[in-house]
Amino acid sequence: MTISSSLNASVAGLAANASRLATISDNISNSATYGYKRAVTDFQSLVIESGKGTYSAGGVRTTTTRLIDERGALVSTTNPTDLAVRGRGMLPVTSETSVAVGNGDNPLFLTTTGSFRPDDQGYLRTPGGLVLLGVPAAADGTIPNYPRDSIDGLVPVQINANQFAGEPTTRVGLSVNLPATSTREGAAGDTETLTVEYFDNLGASSSLIFEFVPTVPANGASNEWTVYISDSETDVDLNGVPDVVGEYSLLFDDSRGGGGTLANVDFADPGAPVGGPYDPATGILTIAVDGGPMEINIGTLGSSIGLTQLSDAFAPVNITKNGTPVGSLTSIEVDQNGFVRASFDIGINRVLYQIPLVDVPNVNGLETLDQQSFRVTPDSGSFFLWDAGDGPTGDVVGFALEESATDVAGELTELIQTQRAYSSNAKVIQTVDEMLQETTNIKR
């Protein structure tokens, strides 16, 4: 009966508008929730076939959708590990419950923003219990290859606030002037000594001792020196002198055009060389200290930079080296490529993790969970781990959070429309009731 279908359609309208009211209510209540994605209710008409001359009201159906691809504005914060994704992609996270179990089986959840701070175990987690996942860096700060279609390479990001770091010295540069008068006839032949500090593989301070011994000729000038390089970390003899790790003969040019520059570098005893060979193209000779090989840059042949022999003064002009002593952790930051960098009070920074961005073909097909997190489903498609800024993904922004995607003014407008539609459906039900009452009165 047509009048009965009107009643059923209006009842369906009441239920549909009640669903829409629920999403509006959810949106407004989460207007201040960082990372919240707006929910919408869509209406679809339901058509029931009718015979000629009659019409049967089918009513309305609803589908509720979470618009995960809608992003809120980014706002700045004072916490370096407040993270937000600018553009496509999501941060990989897991639950603190699975991390506490510690069996390595951590489920993959996704989020677009989060206020991550170290907990009592050092794990970066949000107040709601989401733990950030990342790829751990190797000892030298490089990120190893890891599977991009699996979470096997991801581990909870853990920061040890009491950790220390140091970098060993692998390269030393010498800019030293040797006195030309020491290689002339009648000179005293005094040895010039230079001690250079370096840091070993454990961050301890060690020393290289350079002893420059002039060759004093019977007549004229030899312009030749022998340098002995000793390492304080090697074995010492009965007199407490460390082993020599390099012996080289240095010959300086005395011509008018290139006077005072290196003319030749060779082993002091070519038959029994001590140390590595000199490379004239780079000016580097390599010696073997206790912790491994070390490059000593004494300058290229004919260059005024490096070792020179001029005038009558021994002058260490400039000593350069890499490496640092052990330092304490001062801060943690995440750069736009997702690298978690630790800064130390000795002025160095080190990569600890890389945070990849997760992307799926259909973002709105993800399953919505608590704490503004999502889970991959068959509707979303398979996920892929991208480097931030690579492929279709955006970048990671530190000191920032993503605001709620809710537009309160728009929601209030929809609230008015929903209220009117609900009242109208209720009015139709009231009218149908009155018409049925009139039909009943015909019998009287």
Extract the tokens encoding 263: 């003319």
Extract the tokens encoding 144: 């190893």
Please name each of the domains of the chain with its CATH number: 2-70+405-441 (no CATH), 74-165+327-402 (no CATH), 169-322 (2.60.98.20)
Give the span between the Cα atoms of 108 and 374, in whole angstroms: 9
Q: State the angle between helix axes of 408-441 and 2-29 in degrees (0 to 180), rounded to the nearest 10.
A: 160
Spatial contact of 325 and 199, defined as CB atoms under 8 Å apart: yes
Instruction: Look at the block and give the residue holding tokens 């020599």.
Output: 244
* pLDDT reported for residue 238: 46
Interior/surface letters 2-34, b for 16+ CB within 10 angstroms, e for the rest = eeebbbbbbbbbbbbbebbbebbebbbebeebb
Provide the CB-side half-sphere exposure for 423 (13 A, CA): 6
Strands 171-178 and 292-297: parallel
Q: Where are the beta strands (DSSP E) in 168-314?
A: 171-178, 192-199, 205-214, 224-231, 244-252, 262-267, 278-279, 284-289, 292-297, 307-309
* pLDDT reported for residue 10: 83
Contacts 24+ apart (CB under 8 A), 275-282: 275/229, 275/245, 275/246, 275/247, 275/248, 276/246, 278/248
Give the span between the Cα atoms of 234 and 291, in whole angstroms: 10
Spatial contact of 166 and 346, defined as CB atoms under 8 Å apart: yes
* pLDDT reported for residue 444: 64
Nearest to 338 by CA among 73, 152, 128, 154: 154
pTM here is 0.73
* pLDDT reported for residue 152: 93
- Partners of 334 in beta bridges: 340
- Sequence-ordered alpha helix ranges (H) in 58-177: 96-101
* pLDDT reported for residue 267: 96
Spatial contact of 182 and 223, defined as CB atoms under 8 Å apart: no
Q: What DSSP string describes 78-109?
A: S-TTEEEEESS-BEEEEEHHHHHHTSS----E
The kind and range of the H/E element at 369 are strand 367-369
Give the span between the Cα atoms of 369 and 83, in whole angstroms: 19
Query: Who contacts 343 (Cβ-Cβ below 8 Å, separation ≥6)?
Result: 329, 330, 331, 332, 333, 349
| 82-86, strands of its sheet edge to edge | 113-115, 82-86, 395-397
Q: What is the pLDDT along the chain (444 residues), one digit of tens a residue?
A: 567 777 778 888 888 999 999 999 999 999 999 999 999 999 888 777 766 667 777 778 888 999 999 999 999 999 999 999 999 999 999 999 999 988 878 999 999 999 999 999 999 999 999 999 999 999 888 999 999 999 999 999 999 876 777 789 999 999 999 999 999 999 999 999 999 999 988 888 899 999 999 999 999 999 999 999 999 887 655 455 678 999 999 999 999 888 999 999 999 999 999 999 999 999 999 999 988 899 999 999 999 999 999 999 999 999 999 988 888 888 999 999 999 999 988 878 889 999 999 999 999 999 999 999 999 999 999 999 999 999 999 999 999 999 999 999 999 999 999 999 989 888 888 888 888 887 788 866
Extract the tokens encoding 22: 């629920």
